[in-house]
Structures are given as structure tokens and as C-alpha cells.
Amino acid sequence: MSSNSQLFPSCTNPGLPRGTIFEGHYSFNTGQVGKFEIIDYAFFALTLLASTIIGFSQGWLNRSNMSVEEYFTASHKMHPFPVSLSLLASFFSGVTLIGTPVEIYNYSTMTFWSGTNYLVGIGAAAYIFIPLFYQLRTVSSFEYLQMRFSRGIRTLCSTMYLFYMIAYLSFCLSAPSIAISAVTGFDMYWSSMIIGSVCTLYTAVGGMRAVIWTDTFQILVSLIGVLVLLIKSVIVVGGLGVAWESALRTGRIKFSDFRTDPALTNTVWSIVIGASTIFLSYGVNQSQVMRSQACRSLKETKMAVLGNIPGLCFFFYISCFIGLYLSTFYENCDPVKAKLIPHSSQISSLYVSDILGRTPGLQGLFVAGVVSATLSSVSSGLNSIAAVILEDYVKLYFKSHIRQDHARLLSQGVSVFFGVIVLETTYLVSGAFHLRLAALSVISLTTSPITGVFILGILIPQTNLTGAWTGLLSSIILELWIFIGKKYAPPAPWPKKAMTCVSNCNINALPNSTLVSLFRRPPPLPPSEPIRSVYHISWQWDATIAVTSCIVIGVITSFITGKQDPEETDPRLIVPLVDEVWPFYYLADETREYFRFGIVHEGKWDVQPAETISLQESPALSRRHEIDPPTTPPKISDSQPMGSLSKTRRETEV
């Protein structure tokens, strides 16, 4: 807080809060937004240059052994620490860093509850999904769906994943573009073009090792940038106590909204239960599955995945506290009402400019952190897209046996091609007012039905092919119906926004001096009523609706049409939940035996993946899988034809 700050009583209407004046060359005093200096541009450029050097060097060092297995999984030889940092870097995107403070500013601290979502998503990934994929050693996670159900389900889900990834990466790429545009005046399209091009090139050249090592560098840059902004916020605003008092005055402190109306977005139930379902997709996301398979053993894989929890919670809650400081800083001059920015999605960028722009280099350091968070998400996404195209389309439908060097070149070309598509799509989504909300909505629409069908296959052995198809299609249709209906039905009321004030704005310096009121509360929402329409259900519940409908309809259909016979289900495709997940393994033996549903898992389920088992050993797998890999890992050379990467699996005595 400035030494010249004082309580500002000009919001004189009874009951209105009193805020703090911040004197200095800030945007609400000068009407101008700070710009980049040479050293700021230098930090930004060095981040891109360092990422490029790391990515290209990995491609050069491994050029003699750049098999497809090396390109997509780093030959399963990576240490868990860089893999964990890579998983963290890709999951913590620029959308979180830019969007979370905006949510705090616009609404309330109910956003803090979102941290519980990471526990659900990562816990399920570490103990249910990732161990299964690691044992199967499938390059594409969607190959499991063919083993368990059919090729058609595999293709449909992989196609939906491609649409999801293109949209999601576009939202990720738009976050730093907004930040750069706000503080430099540089066109958003060209900033997206530069960042996306650099990311596409080093991803295409270096493969998985480039993704992991650049992610490791980039998450450290993001950490430095976030800490710089947090420390500077404490110095300028005056500490957490000042920020907390401001949030109390403006009605932002709220943690106990337990209302059960599904039309409400920011309640404990909608965030903890509804949004947690979105994060279940973490365990079946192709990008996460590929990098988790880069570890040397299943134990190290679990360590890498679980290591994400403290890191994600740290970055998320730091972003939330930055949102509190941001709200305090603009308590008496809302930048949107003052016409300093066109909409609230740019308020984080304006705050960075105000807080860090007075010290040369700091603004560029933070923007470099946002860019790093984006690069990591985009690089891992493009790498996963290349794997899906090669495994789920080229090898499945066109040419099952393809030379290693041809497969590598094809994968590199696919990365570049989809990188261009993402760049073009970024321009279309850059106008989204709520980046974090938009990104999560896309996840709900596209990945939740996929998550549902994976749960049907992995946890419910009675599910048959008809049940899987019915559940998946019903979930997709239901989500599309709700999504389209929300566009044309009368809109549901938005959550009540926090109070904002313009009493401390320098009217003479602002671009638009026709400020109507010094302080205005948003109009109150109508009283909570029973749900008026399915279209008014909050987007937080969309994923829960999709996953639940897929599972329920799939199970019912399976029992009606004749459930799957356990003897015809390969035990390696089913996770024994009662034996692997707390607290189920404390149940009595008889109870756990009942909930194994007749599936026999001999010995330890998650044994060391040191033995290679042919698909021919499993009647279920051999019926569903068209390519039988050799029983021992072959020595790979560039001139050798390749059918499928060798499948390392656990030994199961039947």
C-alpha cells in the first residue's frame, strides 16, 4: 500500500464501503496503461528462445534412435521428477493464471473450493486409470476402447478428443495473447502466431523428451513470474489483512453457500461435486497418459502423477490470492466501468501492468511465466494429437505396418498441421469474456462422454458392446441438446457480481468521463426457485450429467441385452476397485469378492511391467485387436516396418 494512501470516503451513500487510495502512476490515475520496455521484451524473447533450444537439442541428441516409441513415450526411460513437472506444467495453463483472478474479482471466494477438484481427478488417475494404461502400454489411450468394446467406439472417442484438444489449446493460447496485447498494444493474432509457431516447431522436432524438458524449464519460469507478482502485490496493496478487509467490504468473502439449486454456479455442491466430475477426464486424457508412460516403472508413474497435487494446489491458490489483491487494488475504480479495458477478461493483464510495470523487467518476467504455462499445455496437446492421428487413424484404417522413419515424419507433419489449425482457431475464441469458464465448458461437452465410456469399461465388467454404444451416444446427444438449448432458451441469471466502485477514478484522465455513478451495486438476482428448465442448469453440472447418463444408460442397456460374461472379459482390462482404492480394500474378503463381479485377478494387480505378453494370450484381446505384436521387444531401426509398439503387460495366471 502506498505511503500516501488514506481512507477514501467519497463513496458517501449510506452503507457503501470505504476503500483505499493508491497514489502513483497507475492506470486509474493517469488513464494510461503501462507498456513493455526493452528488458520486458528481452525476458519474453529469452523464454521462447530457451524453449526452442531445449526442444531442438532433444531432437538432435536422440536423432539416431528417434523411433515412434521414443517420439511418443521417451522409450519409458524418464525420471519421475521431470515427468511430474511436465504433467503439472501442462495442466496448469495460462487460462488458470489469467482467468482465476478474474473469477475472484467478478464474484467471490467460492472459487477457492475448486482446489478440491484436483484431489478427485488426480487421485482417480493415479489409482485407477494410469496404472491400467501403463500395464497395457498403449500409445493411444483410445486403443483400450477397441480392446474392451469395438473399433467404432475407439474412433468416435478419438475424434471427439481431437475437437476438444483443438478448442482447448486455442483457449490456452489466447490467454498470453490477451496479456501481451493489453500491456504492449501488440495485435493478439500476431502474438498468438509467434507463441504457437515456436511451440509447434520444437514439439514436432523433439517429441516427448522435448515436451517434458521444456515443460520442466517453463514451469520454473511460471513459478518465478507468479511469485514476483504475489510479492509485489503484498508490497503495494499492504498484505493479506488489507486484501481480506476489502473483500469483506465488497461482499467477496463467501465460503458457505450450500444452496442446492442446480441453476446456481458458485455453490459448494456445484463446485465440489459438479466440477470435480470434469477433472475425472485427467486420468483418460491422451496427453496425460502419454507422459505418464514415459516413466520407468509403475511405482514411478504413480509418484509422478500424485506429485501434481501439491503443485497444482499451490499455483491455483496463489492465483486466488492474487485475485484478492487485484480486487483490493481496483476497489474504488473498476477498470471496466472506467473504460480502461473493454471487458473483465483483461483485468489481470491491467493489474500486472499497474503493479509490475513501474519496475523495468518485472512485467516481462510475469508475461514470460504466462507464456511458459501456455507453451507447456500446447506442446503436450500437439504431441498427443500426433499420436492419436497415427495410432487411431493411419495405422488403424490405412496402413497398419509403417516404417519407423515414415511414422516419425508423419507425426511431425501432423504436429505442424494441427498447430496451424490451433493458431487459426485462437483468433475465433480470443473474444471469450470468461476464458476459464469457456475452457471448462468445452471439456464438459467433449470429454465427459468419453470419461463415462472409459468408466463403463474399466470399472463395470458387466458392460457389453451394446451398453457402451447406447451410453456413449445418449450422453453425447444429451450434452448437445443442453448446450444448444442454452443458446436459444431464455438465459439463466448469472451469479451475482461483487460490488465495484468508480469513486477514485481520475475522471479527467479517463478515456470516457461520462461515469454515471460513483458506486453501483448490481441488481439483485430473483429469489431461488425450483429449476425452471434443464437449460438453466449451471455449466458446472454439465460434466456430471454427461458422465452419469453414460454410466446409468450403459449399465441398464447391458443388463437388458445380456450383460458381459466375466469369463469373456480379459482381467487386464478391468481395475479391481475394491482391491486398489481406499477405503474399499478394508472391506471384508467376502464383500470384496462380491464386488469383483467374477473377474479373477491372480496375484498383485500392479506388478512390475517387466514381462511382455502377447495379445494372443488373451482370448478377449485377440478377438478385439487386429495386430499381434511380438512377445519380446524388437530392436527398432529406421528401416524396419512397425505394426504396433510392443505391449508390456503384467503376467496374469488364468
Among 561, 594, 616, which residue terminates a domain?
561
Q: What is the value of pTM for the model shown?
A: 0.82
**Distance of alpha carbon 481 from alpha carbon 87, whole angstroms:** 33
Three-class SS of 220-233: HHHHHHHHHHHHHH
**Distance of alpha carbon 280 from alpha carbon 124, whole angstroms:** 7
Q: Which three cell numbers stand for residue 34?
A: 503501462
Answer whether 27's CB lies under 8 Å from 336's CB: no
Quote the pLDDT of residue 70. Answer: 83
Q: Which three cell numbers stand for residue 84?
A: 511430474
Answer whether 52's CB lies under 8 Å from 200's CB: no
Q: Which amino acid is at 630?
A: P
Same domain, 606 and 485: no
**Distance of alpha carbon 276 from alpha carbon 543, whole angstroms:** 9
Listed residue (654, 652, 648) closest to 295, CA to CA: 648
Q: Which three cell numbers stand for residue 438?
A: 469457456
Quote the pLDDT of residue 496. Answer: 63
Q: Which three cell numbers stand for residue 436?
A: 476459464
**Domain carrying residue 627:** 566-642
Partner residues linked to 295 by β-bridges: 78
Quote the pLDDT of residue 113. Answer: 92
417 has pLDDT over 80: yes
Same domain, 240 and 338: yes
82-96, 216-230, 293-307: least confidently modelled range = 82-96
Q: Which of 236-240, 261-265, 336-340, 384-388 has the highest mean pLDDT?
A: 384-388
**Distance of alpha carbon 100 from alpha carbon 328, whole angstroms:** 15
Is 392 a domain residue? yes
**Distance of alpha carbon 583 from alpha carbon 577, whole angstroms:** 10
How far CA 372 is from CA of 18, 48, 207, 307, 593, in Å, comes to 38, 8, 18, 20, 48
**Distance of alpha carbon 644 from alpha carbon 375, whole angstroms:** 30
How far CA 35 is from CA of 179, 352, 405, in Å, comes to 11, 11, 47
227 has pLDDT over 90: yes
Q: Which amino acid is at 94?
A: G
CA quadruple 134, 137, 142, 146: dihedral sign: negative
Among 502, 534, 561, which residue terminates a domain?
561
Same domain, 382 and 430: yes
Same domain, 571 and 551: no
Cell numbers 516481462 correspond to what residue? 364
Domains identified in the chain, total number: 2
Quote the pLDDT of residue 343. Answer: 77
At 143-164, the pLDDT tens digits run: 999 999 999 999 999 999 998 8
The more confident residue out of 42 and 29 is: 42
Same domain, 267 and 376: yes
Same domain, 86 and 207: yes
Q: Which of 275-289, 429-443, 453-467 has the highest mean pLDDT?
A: 453-467
Nearby residues of 391 by Cβ (< 8 Å), 6 or more positions away: 138, 139, 140, 142, 143
The more confident residue out of 24 and 88 is: 88
For the chain, report the end-to-end CA distance as a whole number of angstroms: 70
Is 452 a domain residue? yes
Quote the pLDDT of residue 510. Answer: 55
Q: At what angle do helices 362-389 and 151-184 cross, to 10 degrees?
A: 160
Answer whether 256's CB lies under 8 Å from 268's CB: yes
How far CA 254 is from CA of 233, 245, 329, 333, in Å, comes to 22, 13, 19, 22
Quote the pLDDT of residue 400. Answer: 74
- Looking up residue 501, the CATH number of its domain turns out to be 1.20.1730.10
Query: Average pLDDT, stretch 162-170?
Result: 87
Is 236 a domain residue? yes
CA quadruple 216, 220, 225, 229: dihedral sign: positive
Nearby residues of 490 by Cβ (< 8 Å), 6 or more positions away: none
Query: Average pLDDT, stretch 297-308?
Result: 90
With pLDDT > 90 as the criterion, what percentage of the chain qualifies? Answer: 24
Q: Work out the pLDDT band at 433, boundaries 50, 70, 90.
A: very low
380 has pLDDT over 80: yes
Answer whether 620's CB lies under 8 Å from 136's CB: no
Same domain, 598 and 553: no
Length, in residues, of the chain: 654
Same domain, 322 and 364: yes
Answer whether 305's CB lies under 8 Å from 147's CB: no
Q: Work out the pLDDT band at 142, boundaries 50, 70, 90.
A: very high
200-204, 310-314, 339-343, 405-409: least confidently modelled range = 339-343
Quote the pLDDT of residue 19. Answer: 57
Quote the pLDDT of residue 337. Answer: 82
Same domain, 489 and 577: no
Query: Average pLDDT, stretch 602-613?
Result: 42
Query: Average pLDDT, stretch 613-638?
Result: 39
Same domain, 456 and 591: no
With pLDDT > 70 as the criterion, what percentage of the chain qualifies? Answer: 78
Q: What is the DSSP letter of 67?
A: -
**Distance of alpha carbon 253 from alpha carbon 240, whole angstroms:** 13
Query: Average pLDDT, stretch 465-473?
Result: 96
**Distance of alpha carbon 534 from alpha carbon 549, whole angstroms:** 14
Q: Which three cell numbers stand for residue 103?
A: 473469477
Burial degree of 36 (CB within 10 A; 0-12, 13-18, 19+): buried
Listed residue (434, 255, 235) closest to 325, CA to CA: 235
Is 305 a domain residue? yes
At 314-371, the pLDDT tens digits run: 999 999 999 999 999 988 888 888 787 777 778 888 898 888 888 888 888 888 888 8
Is 647 a domain residue? no
547 has pLDDT over 90: yes
Answer whether 324's CB lies under 8 Å from 243's CB: yes
Nearby residues of 425 by Cβ (< 8 Å), 6 or more positions away: 166, 167, 169, 170
Query: Average pLDDT, stretch 297-306?
Result: 91
Query: Average pLDDT, stretch 562-584?
Result: 83
Across the chain, what does the average pLDDT equal?
A: 78
Quote the pLDDT of residue 364. Answer: 86
Q: Quick one: which H or E segment has residue 310?
A: helix 308-329
374 has pLDDT over 70: yes
Is 1 a domain residue? no
Is 529 a domain residue? no
Same domain, 392 and 313: yes
Query: Average pLDDT, stretch 198-223?
Result: 89
Q: Is 158 helix (H, G, I), strand (E, B) or coil?
A: helix
Q: Work out the pLDDT band at 436, boundaries 50, 70, 90.
A: low
Same domain, 46 and 125: yes
Is 524 a domain residue? no
